[in-house]
Structure 1
Amino acid sequence: MSLIKNTGTIAGFTIISRIFGFVRDMLLARVLGAGLAADAYQLAFTLPNTFRRLFAEGAFSVAFIPMYSRRLEDEDGEARAQEFADDVLSIFIWILLGFSALAMLAMPLIVYGLASEFQNEPGKFELAVFLSRMTFPYLFFISLVAMLSGLLNARSRFAPGAIAPVLFNFTLISGIIIGYYARGSSDNDVIVVQILSAAVALSGLVQLIYLWWAVKRAGVKLQVKRPRLTPEVKRLGIVILPATFGAGIYQISQFVDTFFATSLPQGSLTLLKMADRLNQMPLGIVGIALGTAILPMLSRHIQSGNQALAQRLQTDAFEMATLLTLPAAAALAVCAPAFTNAFFVGGKFTLADGAIMSNIVVALVAGLPAYVIIKILVPGFFARSDTRTPVYTALASLIVNIGLNIYVVMYAGYGIVGLAAATAASATLNCILLYTMLHRRGYFHFTAALGSRIFRQAIATAIMASVLWLLMQWLGPNFSADAWSRVWSLITLVVIGGGVYAVAGFTVGAVDKARITALIKRKPIAAQENEA
């Protein structure tokens, strides 16, 4: 299958999901602002979602997909893969139920560990505990969704897993609207966050129903049987434990950042999470799409012993990642005030909130290329059943992140912006360490051609950023004006910025037209190798 085709399928539906996500966050900012109820909800929303990314979409996926893919490639592969999936599902359900029940019982301790400062505001801690218990069932549903998505991804069916987040955002938008009208003129934000938290749990059930239907439609009939701890299931568990840490540095850092953010002035946690939504747009579209597409393909190449194909696949993914994330990071940094004011300021979300949020965005996107490249490098280890190395690099990065957080928050006084910059710095360190280990072991090496291409992409990005900076001097006031002024000004930024980057990219040779054409046409990689 074509890397571009698979990535495009995932990215296309992810774009739709991110658009719905933007609508969701725009409504949320205007309805709740950055106050007590908003902070409590953001913590309740963060808990199941971070566990989802850490375990379900992170560790479980990178462990399950290669093992499932290898069984599909074996003789009598369908039967072996079916048996493996049934055994995993039959144990996975009970683990999820037990973990969810224990977490909900221990929720006061969990919330205290992450946000003890909430106790300084009357009612804030209790509300955060209540909302977290309401949202946590989402983890059970979405973890099963991640397994079903992984099963379909291994069969090169990427669309259903990419469509599921659209259902998630649609359900949450409905919850915000219902909560807003239920609140009426009372100005009681608690009503809104209670309804919204229930919508979070419901969205997990909606996605699970859809994915279960998609799996049946693909001809796979999963069965929940009596749990059996088979050697293959044991192997999966052994791989998952270190993979949880190795694949989840960003998510673990989110917990660390949440802890420090709750010690800052009220509203800081909400502003950080809102800013991260802008950062997640290109990360989700490019990073997750590439990482999801590359893992099963890389596993098959390594299983067949073809290192040349594995090298080419990762090179393609690396080039595509930088081609898209370098301009995205630059555009978000230069135009952060435009995006935050145009999308979020209004209702209870003030101009002062928008100014702080734009600074947070600039700090976060400094690490955007690293966030995305990590998604490409980590599968290089997991496809070879090497779970230790990502653990070591992640541990080093996490220690640095904690040290930086302590410095910028407690000593330097940089506040929430410093917290975001520390996350970007630790992600960049993790990226460098991962590549160094891949290179030293001969798994993947940075070629002169790839370096030249990225250098040219950087030139095109610099040209685009300069033009956007000039446009911001002209259009700046429009982003705090009426809706029409915001809309046409944003369209102007996007169209001119994208056009300048495209023209500059082709002019300086940032895009290998022959290579992209070959990928789109799914030209055999062996032939592409001869042309490289």
Structure 2
Amino acid sequence: MLIKSIFTNSSGILVSRILGFGRDLLTASILGANIYSDIFFVAFKLPNLFRRIFAEGAFTQAFIPAYAKTKQKIRFTSAIFLQFLALILFLSLLVTLFSKFVTHVIALGFDAKTVDLAAPLVAINFYYLPMIFIVTFMAALLQYKHHFATTAFSTALLNLALIAALLLSKNLEKYEITYYMSYGVLVGGFLQILVHLIAIKKKNLLKVFTFNKINISENKFYKNFVSATVGSSTSHISAFLDTWLASFLVSGSISYLYYANRVFQLPLALFAIATSTALFPMIARAIKNKDEDNALRLMKKSTIILTALLAISTLIGIVFDKFIVQLLFQRGAFTSTDTTNTALILSMYLIGLIPFGIAKIFSLWLYSHEKQFLAAKISMKALGFNIVFSLLLITPYGAAGLAFASTLSGFILFFLTIKEFGFIKFKQLIFSK
């Protein structure tokens, strides 16, 4: 079942990422790497950060163990859904009302004119967040039922919507194109909700969408969720910090980091996230049933497979970094200089691929034991190191220094996660027959 689930997730992610690269190819060709691409990436950065935290970590890691243990599943899930949705809609409204302030915060290096250009896009794109929460909530329910296909393939709908937006607007002014892309993000979110609703209906889970009062188990869930949000988001917050700091560098730096990170995220998502998504419900069930031997067996199998896949990906990516970027992006407004700058940053990111991936697997052990606060402390320490490394490396090495700072924090994250799991237990797990 594990291999089948991993394959399902990987297949869906692969389809989505191929379309994503098609989207990025069009974006690079039509917009290039300049102020217009920068303001769209900044506008999409904040909801995309929350999407990754929700969809690839925090919510699921707090929700599934709590859902597995609660005896009032309908009451629990319906209350969590309504409370979360109300909070996120309120947050989205605040972003709309104070979009210039939010834009200035997330891109502090932008001047007043650039902030004015980006602010409306930030407001539009942020409404993707409530949509992706609805998707993530339904995806968590489906994952518990060992149904992964809908979620795995649905991200492709976002990419299709953005590709359509680019094709429809390619002959317009560049700033108008960013508006088309922003509304394309919302169309993609709506389509993702639609396909998940169909799957939820087939699984007879629509009854969870009712109102209930909060109870003790929900209070505990929220405590675990806050911790899991920090614990699962190190790499994403690092990328966000890269964007923020890169706004102080030359024009195009944000875009170089974005394109390089997109390539880096392919093997991370295709292998590490696909594996952890399939593995987590199985580990959570095993821990709930006090069958730690089975949980450890599943983790060992996943770790060996994942390490091999990530090592191959790292080697290929670093050796052929310039060729990969050139093949994917160098056309239209994206020049050979842009390729060289992006390729260097890609290599800096790829050095950290293995530690980030393996740390994600072993963090599941902590989440399954509901040690979200401990995982959060580990992540905060790694993030602190990332900030220090970024400040030290940005001046001498620019955007490449920011990428390498993120990689160094990945090694810190890996070391601290294995330390809490237990170095001796880790050695026995890996080398036992």
**TM-score, length-scaled by structure 2:** 0.97
Match among 142, 149, 158 for residue 152 of structure 1: 142
**Counterpart mapping for 1:156-305 below 5 A:** 156-181=146-171, 183=172, 188-305=173-290
Letter in 2 for 1:145: V
Task: Render the CA deviation track for 1:449-488: whole Å, top value 9, x for unaligned.
Answer: x35xxxxxxxxxxxxxxxxxxxxxxxxxxxxxxxxxxxxx
Match of 2:111 in 1: 119
Match among 79, 83, 96 for residue 104 of structure 1: 96
Runs of 4+ in 1 over 6 A off after TM superposition: none
Unaligned runs of 5+ in 2: none
Rounded to whole Å, the distance in 2 between the matches of 1:213 and 1:203 is 16
Match of 2:426 in 1: 445
Query: Following TM superposition, by how much is the alpha carbon of 1:64 offset from its aligned partner in structure 2, in angstroms?
Result: 0.5
Letter in 1 for 2:135: V
Task: Render the CA deviation track for 1:196-229: whole Å, top value 9, x for unaligned.
Answer: 0111112111101111111111121234433521
Letter in 2 for 1:429: I
Rounded to whole Å, the distance in 2 between the matches of 1:155 and 1:81 is 13
Rounded to whole Å, the distance in 1 between the matches of 2:341 and 2:333 is 15
Does 2:44 align with 1:29? no
Between 370-379 and 168-177, report the one with greater CA deviation.
Answer: 370-379
Rounded to whole Å, the distance in 2 between the matches of 1:26 and 1:69 is 42
Rounded to whole Å, the distance in 2 between the matches of 1:398 and 1:265 is 25
Match of 1:8 in 2: 7
Match of 1:94 in 2: 86
- Name the % identity: 28
Letter in 2 for 1:125: V
Match of 2:73 in 1: 81
Match among 393, 403, 418 for residue 401 of structure 2: 418
Rounded to whole Å, the distance in 2 between the matches of 1:179 and 1:132 is 19
Does 2:298 align with 1:313? yes
Query: Following TM superposition, by how much is the alpha carbon of 1:16 offset from its aligned partner in structure 2, in angstroms?
Result: 0.7
Alignment root-mean-square deviation, CA: 1.6
Would the aligned equivalents of 1:294 and 1:313 in 2 still touch at CA under 8 Å? Answer: yes
Asked which structure has the greater CA Rg, the reply is 1
Letter in 2 for 1:63: A
Aligned-partner SS, 2:255:
helix
Match of 1:361 in 2: 346
Query: Following TM superposition, by how much is the alpha carbon of 1:175 offset from its aligned partner in structure 2, in angstroms?
Result: 0.9
Between 217-226 and 376-385, report the one with greater CA deviation.
Answer: 217-226
Rounded to whole Å, the distance in 2 between the matches of 1:176 and 1:22 is 13
Higher RCO (C-alpha under 8 Å, 6+ residues apart): 2
Query: Following TM superposition, by how much is the alpha carbon of 1:250 offset from its aligned partner in structure 2, in angstroms?
Result: 1.1
Would the aligned equivalents of 1:44 and 1:129 in 2 still touch at CA under 8 Å? Answer: yes
Query: Following TM superposition, by how much is the alpha carbon of 1:388 offset from its aligned partner in structure 2, in angstroms?
Result: 1.8
- How many residue pairs match? The answer is 433
**TM-score, length-scaled by structure 1:** 0.79
Letter in 1 for 2:62: A
Aligned-partner SS, 1:445:
helix
Does 2:23 align with 1:40? no
Would the aligned equivalents of 1:85 and 1:222 in 2 still touch at CA under 8 Å? Answer: no
Would the aligned equivalents of 2:329 and 2:339 in 1 still touch at CA under 8 Å? Answer: yes
Would the aligned equivalents of 1:70 and 1:299 in 2 still touch at CA under 8 Å? Answer: no
Match among 337, 343, 347 for residue 322 of structure 2: 337
Rounded to whole Å, the distance in 2 between the matches of 1:370 and 1:273 is 21
Rounded to whole Å, the distance in 2 between the matches of 1:55 and 1:23 is 25
Unaligned runs of 5+ in 1: 72-76, 452-528
Compared with structure 1, are the counterparts of its residues 222 and 258 closer, same or farther at alpha carbon in structure 2 (3 Å cutoff)?
A: farther
Letter in 1 for 2:227: P
Match of 1:376 in 2: 361
Task: Render the CA deviation track for 1:254-285: whole Å, top value 9, x for unaligned.
Answer: 22111111111001001100111110110111
Match of 2:416 in 1: 433
Query: Following TM superposition, by how much is the alpha carbon of 1:56 offset from its aligned partner in structure 2, in angstroms?
Result: 4.8
Would the aligned equivalents of 1:242 and 1:391 in 2 still touch at CA under 8 Å? Answer: yes
Letter in 2 for 1:446: K
Would the aligned equivalents of 1:29 and 1:344 in 2 still touch at CA under 8 Å? Answer: yes
